[in-house]
A and B are shown apart, each in its own frame.
Chain A
Amino acid sequence: MSAVGAQVVVAVVQVVVLVLAAPVVVGVTREVRARAEGRAGGRVGQPWRDLVKWWRKRPLQATGTSVVSRIAPVLLLSSSLVVVALVPLVTAAPTVVPADLLVVVSVLLVGTVAIALLGLDAGSAFGGMGSSRHMMIAALVEPTVLMAVYALSVPVGSSSLSAIVDARRDDPASIASPAGVLAVVALVVVVLAETGRLPVDNPSTHLELTMVHEAMLLEASGRDLASLELGGWLRLSALLGLVGNLVLPWGVAGGTGPGELALGAVALLAKLGLLAAVLGAAEVGVAKLRLFRVPELLAGSFVLAFLAVTASALVA
């Protein structure tokens, strides 16, 4: 199989698996949280049903919106799909388009910007508010992201994700080393902030004044909303899958054979289910931070990542 063919296969497999799994991941999170809080909760497949429902509805268009409102949902969804195709989720085989961590981060930013512009486009006060907060958080997350990337890259000498996952699988001791642990903890904080989970943002809030992510979607409806929500869920699942593969690098396929890919997909689904449950359970005990205390959280995780860097420079 040619290199390009292998790349296409990997991309298609990862995209299909994640698109099918992402709504369920969100469903599991909600279900676990509901159970832990003593509620009955919806069904695990409910997000899927919501998606189908939204997709069939006609979107409303606010007066004065521009083409940005129509492009942004597509842009967010496709940027998430690119991330899903790039990150080594099912397989860590080297690919034609290298899974460079810096590229992945910047593709994520494309989605961030798309949704921030969407929030501004309708010209409503809440959209602007959400967009402003969202961008402030995105701006302050950036140093932590790159520091965590750096901490993970330096021991391997490359910012290629497949190389990083491979190295961790070959040397499990590096996962439990202080540097490795600190870097992953910093990365987890980043993932929570990037995907708008507690304690940075509350995805299930109905109070507009505390919203960040939701406030930008207020004017979206119908299939636009479906694209935006699916894009967001894909981001969450891809990043959770990445964390899963960094903490438990076993089961990730090393090549692109059908058997390996099937095994990798099963392992990925297991990790995603586990992490989704952990996320849901953890969110029960956490309150949303005040907006102006979020920088403290991010600075804290920056320090963790920085310590990971200094530690990895010495202990390695």
Chain B
Amino acid sequence: MTTLDSLATQALALSTGALLVTAALLVWRRSLAASARVLAVQGASLALLVGAIALEEREVELGVVALVVLALKGVVIPAVVARGVRVSGVQREDAPRLNPTAGLVAATGLTTLAYLVSEPISAAIAGRGVVASGPGAFAVPAGLTLVLVGLLLVVTRRRALSQLVGFLVLDNGIAAVAFLTAAGVPFVVELGVSLDVLLVALILAVLSGRLHAVIGAVTVDELDELRD
């Protein structure tokens, strides 16, 4: 069964690479529609990561989780975001607090940071099959990078929808780290969290649509005006 194992290794390497690249792309691009598409790719990569772990651990249940992740994070949530973009009519994040160049440089720094601080986590999962060495050790920092980049997006973006994108990246990162460190969260927990996230996405998408309808803008800064 070494071919299966090497397949799992390849898939793990590919998916972590894709996670990182999509995170960089999300910082880079300002178009919200493009962000939704990239988010779909990221969700699919996460599903691939889960699938790789399932293959490596030979766990059918985890395989099912991979399919659920693919459906939710790869299809449904990006679709909700894309719809929100269409409804609100806001096509671009036009005035982020950090320009994309600086954002990308910051993302580089965050990757470095994630890589440095995740050493103990990588050490803790050592000795567990493919995850322990090679790409697996790299996947943990990648997940942590996603968490940090997600936070960066939430902090630096002004549009409600792009903040939502940041939040989703953050969630993807948490999920990636969780799968790698706990050999998969129990199925029910993952399902519950994913549905929660879906709910948040729905609420925010609807909210930003309503915001646009009511005050003609979906910049979160405008909410300052709402206080008494």
Contacts and interface: CB of A to CB of B under 8 A. Distances in A.
A300 B99 CA distance: 12
A181 interface: yes
Nearest to A314: B138
A296 B102 CA distance: 9
B134 A303 contact: no
Contacts of A141: none
Given A300-B24, A303-B24, A310 B111 contact: yes
Contact of A303 (B17, B18, B104): B104
A299 interface: yes
A215 interface: no
Given A314-B138, A315-B134, A295 B101 contact: yes
A303 B135 CA distance: 19
B14 A303 contact: no
A178 B14 contact: yes
| Size band of the interface chain B makes with A | 20 to 34
A210 interface: no
B171 to A, nearest CB: 21
B44 to A, nearest CB: 15
A296 B104 contact: yes
Interface string A93-118: 00000000000000000000000000
Contact of A307 (B21, B28, B105): B21
A311 B99 CA distance: 26
A311 B111 contact: no
B104 A299 contact: yes
Contacts of B28: 296, 299-300, 303
A234 interface: no
B20 A307 contact: yes
Interface in B1-45: 13-14, 16-18, 20-21, 24-25, 28
B18 to A, nearest CB: 8
Given A302-B108, A303-B107, A296 B134 contact: no
